[in-house]
Structure 1
Amino acid sequence: MAEVTLFVAGDVMTGRGVDQILPHPGTPRLWEQAVTDARRYVELAEAVAGPVPRPAPAEWPWGDALRLLDEERPEVRIVNLETAVTARGEPAPGKGIHYRMHPANLPCLTAARLDVCALANNHVLDFGATGLADSLDALSGAGIRTAGAGRDAEEAWRPARVPLPDRRRLLVWSVGAPSSGVYPQWAAADRRPGVAYLPEVSAAAAEALAERIAREAGAADLVVVSVHWGSNWGHQVPDEHVEFAHALVDAGVHVVHGHSSHHPRPVERYRGRLILYGCGDLIDDYEGIGGQEEYRPELRLLHLPTLDPETGELSRLRLVPVRMRRMRLQPAAPVEARWLADLLDGLGAPYRTRFTLADDGVLTLTR
């Protein structure tokens, strides 16, 4: 059987300023303390990088990432979609930031030929149950599978199922933790829309999730758990995240796909399987926002793990560095790729992971 290469990414935030540059922008109104018009985020990006076309083509935010992905040819493409896809609903009360993309801008997502959007995060319900229902309908209508949110608990906890060759499947579960800003009241219930909510990140929570997985996954299936956890900034991984991820792998999960941080966090190969503690953002409108320059948040990564189809173990991991400029992804410069390689090398020391930087600018996990 052939190896299976995945494309996995962290937060894809196509609302707010990104939605405003696309062909069918929704209302620019925001309910933030400092910014009340989403077009302001476009102006901030233009102030640091130059003009952004308005309207831009639907594929604009992906930029050169589309070509790079076509060159790598992953079999399955998975992102955390941290945006409601709706033009309706009321903003969730008590929240400082709300994201939504107009459903007519769905070509922005289909341009990347996404297979799965993980939805158990702290923005999918920004416009309530109405916005969530619109999002689920829009994504399904576009042929994009979802996991982690639903009209009830059964749907929210149901994995996305992606067929693979030889009658195999890739199953993706998506869960969200309170440490990333997911509200307890957003938890899906028998008659309540919501997300697959993880009240705590612990070995016990991993065991409960593993029991769900065991009821669905067959011996030949590959299993990914996508988890929205932790703070937006900082490289430290809490001990409970490590215990949770290790417990999932011990129970048979093949990839733990972590996100929420706006920048990369450590990578670990545990018992031969991949744990990404934080993938960082991929698409957002943060380009002109200052205050966290030490993390170089404009630098992003396309994560391309290749799995052994028999064991699910990691055969190789390639990370393609890109950067956001004019609200569009482009290849990172050599000095930027080197900065990312040095960062991940340093972060990986406690996990005994090292990366090399090839002449083509791609980072490869070497141990």
Structure 2
Amino acid sequence: MIGFLFAAAFILIVLRAFFRPIRYTVRVDDVLFEQYIQPLGPEPFVFDGTDSQQRRLPFTFKKLSGTAKKIPFLGKIEVCAATVTREESLLLLESQQAPANITKYPIQKTVLVPSVEAEFDKRSNKWPAQPSIFSPGLSVSITKPEDLPEKKRALPVDGLYAGDEKYALTLTSYAVCTVYIEKFAPVIREWCEQTFTCAESPKTSFAAAVGDIMVARGIEDVLIKNPDGLKKVFSTTLPVLQNNDITIGNLEGVVTDSSRAATKTYTFKFKKAVLPFLQKAGFTYLMQANNHCYDFGEAGFKDTLSALAECNIPTSGAGLNAKEAAQFYHTQVKGQNFAIISCGAFPVERSGFNGKTTATATETRAGILWAGETLLEGIARQKADGNFVIVNVHGGEEYRFFPAKEQRALYESFCDAGADVVFGSHPHVLQPIERYNGSLIVYSLGNFLFNGMNEMPGATDSEIVRLGIYGGKILYTEIYPAKLGTNGVALKPY
């Protein structure tokens, strides 16, 4: 009897040692377990290929912090096939090498940006558009884009902007899978790839604007007839103009062959052949809502609209009737929706030309959109639809370096209605750049291409204002001071 008991005990010990069933588990970080595993229910699965067929996994999941239960004498042996832990690391500090059994799956990306005081009121040719975060004398702070204070502007990092692929200040959260049993590696990694996904970070889109573009007085001949005309005219501004998703300019004049000029002090017209050169320079939108849009009457205005359409150059705030003139131009760039409108708000000229009564579009007359309730209501609708709203306004007083009270109130009303940025033109000289309740107002961009201004104080000072928009917010504000010369424009040296 005793021998039988010994034999039975020996058999049980052998069975327990060599033939006990095994339960394979994957131990998962507690937070990840609650977020990704618990919602799946008791039987997690993977999909096979593209046929959406579910396949049960050969293991179960347990929390990393869980304690092992007491196993019955002949119960299943629990073996950890893999662990999934959490890790956060900054791209700047990440190592590119990892053991073969460890795979990282990004689950969340948080972008950080260095920022400095904007100091728009101190802009000059010494104000660097893109200072290094290591520039001496700069007080740099690090924030999330959504937390950027209103009076600060973000800086690029090694020439890269928030959302760029190798942007160094990207804090990434990973699910880190470490596989201990190689035979399960394929299915574990397949499951991880299906489970741990990461939403794409927003990209930074760029919109830039310049002031008055008047290509008569010899400039268009240089562009059209000179083989190197583009570089001669735009010089060092070209890399800035061409490096945007949207580049806006105010076309100060009409594109027409008409000779029936209006009774005005100055009238400007250009050849249609000049438009492709403006496109090559980087301009993607040309404003027509200005005090020279009717220099050759309604016929010349219509000719301009036709020429712009033929060259696929967008404009808005100008149309064959009032309804058309009130339409915004829409475009989407890197996932960001833009709504752009232009309007007139300039005073009556000394010659007696009154844009509000003469050039404003009506039900039966082609013309421009004039600043008023129709525009404010349109801005509000576009903002409510989730667009980044740009308003170009031709207003203010000529050769005045600071906006009048009425000009400020008007431009602020655009922002109150929902405009994210207001770009001003018409004064022919630069005026301040200011933040207003989260929006940006550039009261006057001055001239950009405009021969014959050498005798007018401040009229040859210019700038390119370049905005980096991230997550619907102006993150980067770069100002490139420029100077008008004979038949062209160039960046000022820093």
Whether TM-score is above 0.5 comes out as: yes
Question: What whole-Å deviation, never above 9, does each CA across 1:4-37 have from its counterpart, x for those lacking one?
Answer: 221111111113432344436xxxxxxxxxxxxx
Task: Provide Cα deviations, 1:158-195, integer angstroms capped at 9, x if missing partner.
Answer: 112222222x4211111111427452211110110111
Please give the secondary structure, in 1, of the residue aligned with 2:447: coil
* 2-structure distance, mates of 1:17, 1:327: 7
The secondary structure found in structure 2 opposite 1:146 is coil
CA distance in 2, matches of 1:180, 1:276: 22
The alpha carbon displacement at 1:107 in A equals 2.4
Q: Which amino acid aligns with 1:62?
A: F
For 1:10 and 1:130, locate their aligned partners in 2 and report how far apart those are by CA, in whole Å: 25
Does the aligned pair in 1 maintain the 2:464–2:479 contact within 8 Å?
Answer: yes
Matched, 1:114 2:283: yes
Distance 1:89 1:285 in 2: 21
Q: Distance in 2 between matches of 1:324 and 1:238?
A: 25
Deviation at 1:217, TM superposition (A): 4.8
Q: Which residue of structure 1 aligns with residue 339 of structure 2?
A: 171
Partner of 1:155: 324
1:159-308 equivalences under 5 Å are 159-166=328-335, 168-179=336-347, 181=349, 182-183=354-355, 184-198=357-371, 205=372, 208-287=374-453, 289-290=454-455, 292-293=456-457, 295=458, 297-308=459-470
2:224 pairs with one of 17, 23, 41: 23
Residue of 326, 331, 341 corresponding to 2:486: 326
Compare relative contact order (CA 8 Å, sep 6+) and give the higher one, 1 or 2.
Answer: 1
Gapped runs of 5+ residues in structure 2? 1-201
Preserved CA contact (<8 Å) 2:342 2:392? yes
Larger of the two Rg values belongs to structure: 2
**Alignment partners' CA distance in 2, 1:67 and 1:118:** 21
RMSD between aligned alpha carbons? Answer: 2.1
Return the match for 2:236 from 54, 57, 64: 64
Matched residue SS, 1:90: coil
Could you tell me how far apart the structure 2 residues matched to 1:131 and 1:55 are?
Answer: 29
Question: What amino acid is the match of 2:237?
Answer: A
Name 1:344's counterpart in structure 2. Answer: none
Give distance in 2, aligned partners of 1:18 and 1:308: 36
TM-score, reference length from structure 2? 0.55
Secondary structure (helix, strand or coil) at the match of 1:214 reads helix
2:103 equivalent in structure 1: none
- 2:258 maps to 1:88: yes
Q: Contact conserved, 2:218 with 2:487, CA < 8 A, in 1?
A: no
Gaps of 5+ in 1: 25-53, 199-204, 334-360, 362-367
Structure 1 match to 2:203:
2
Deviates more, 1:155-164 or 1:118-127: 155-164
The one-character-per-residue Cα deviations of 1:276-305 (angstroms, maximum 9, x if unpaired) are: 111111111125x42x23x2x222111112
Deviation at 1:68, TM superposition (A): 3.1
Given that 2:430 and 2:461 are in contact with CA atoms closer than 8 Å, whether structure 1 keeps it comes out as no
Q: Distance in 2 between matches of 1:177 and 1:116?
A: 19
Moved beyond 4 Å, runs of 4+: none
- CA distance, structure 2, for counterparts of residue 74 and residue 67 of structure 1: 9
The alignment partner of 1:158 has SS state of: coil
| Aligned-partner residue type, residue 157 of structure 1 | A
Q: For 1:245 and 1:308, locate their aligned partners in 2 and report how far apart those are by CA, in whole Å.
A: 23
Q: Is the 8 A contact 1:63 1:330 kept in 2?
A: yes
The one-letter code matched in structure 1 to 2:487 is: M
Check conservation: 2:338, 2:388, Cα contact below 8 A: yes
| TM-score with structure 1 setting the length | 0.73
Q: In structure 2, what is the Cα distance between the partners aligned to 1:265 and 1:232?
A: 11
Distance of 1:171 and 1:66 partners within structure 2: 25
**What amino acid sits opposite 2:214 in the alignment?**
M
Corresponding position of 1:342 = none
